[in-house]
Structure 1
Amino acid sequence: MTTQSRRRVLCIELSGPYPLKITAPAHMTGEQFATARTRLGLSREQYADLIGRDPETVRQREKGEEVPPEAALLMRVLTGYGVRAEATMAERRKPGPPRPTHCRNGHEFTPENSYVSKGRGTRACRTCRRARDAENRKKDFHH
């Protein structure tokens, strides 16, 4: 877990099987902190037990002008207020099948021999296209 505080925004990156990046405003007043705790339906004692602190620490945070950034982030994560969580790039990019190097007829996909089809937006083979066009012209000519 890494924590960075930039421009009053706190960012925590969690690693593990499901990497996650959490960002939230770092500033939270004691009054906002108390309101958020109340919205969770927790007493000071219950919240203190939840975060592993004594109730007096929670009371001091609620009376203070500004809550420490780490405490503010935890409260924002618990309440979901102002929090943005996103999967890290490694989690978002799922490995797909390898990109084909040849068309189904065995022609190599080179810059000269391939193009992006307008309809599907996928790579297509120019050699196969020429052969298909020639076959279609031949059919049209004989009809």
Structure 2
Amino acid sequence: MTARRRQITLTKETGMPIAIDPNKSWEYVLLVDRELPPEQQTVFELKALSARELATIEDGSVRSDREGKLEYLSGTQTIRILELGVRGWRNFKDPAGTDVPFRENNGKPRHENWDLLRPEWRRELANAITEQNRLSEEERKN
């Protein structure tokens, strides 16, 4: 067994565990772009979260205030998922039609990237990233 641990998922067909590679990326097109010709679609490069990353996000999604009331931090959770799961984009345009670069500092996405995305797009991307951790190998191919 290697020192690097891998998450395991089960396929629907056989129930056989298939490892998730948290370093492997895939391309994702937002629902609003899917009817456009491929050359007009914005393509996001996403990756699955490691078990530790996902657990940290889940643990940090709720906090208690001084009176013991729970506060759900879904916006903070969404941004954290994007920081960990978005590796880049291409063909993302500004209103003038100019490509918008994906900005990084030392290989990590800069926070202003997320300001350029509508809230519903941020949620869709975050959901795509976390769903990838739950899919079987066969489902990932589709």
Q: Same fold (TM over 0.5)?
A: no
- TM-score normalised by length of structure 1: 0.23
- TM-score normalised by length of structure 2: 0.23
Larger Rg: 1
Whichever structure has more helix as a proportion of its residues is 1
Whichever structure has more strand as a proportion of its residues is 2
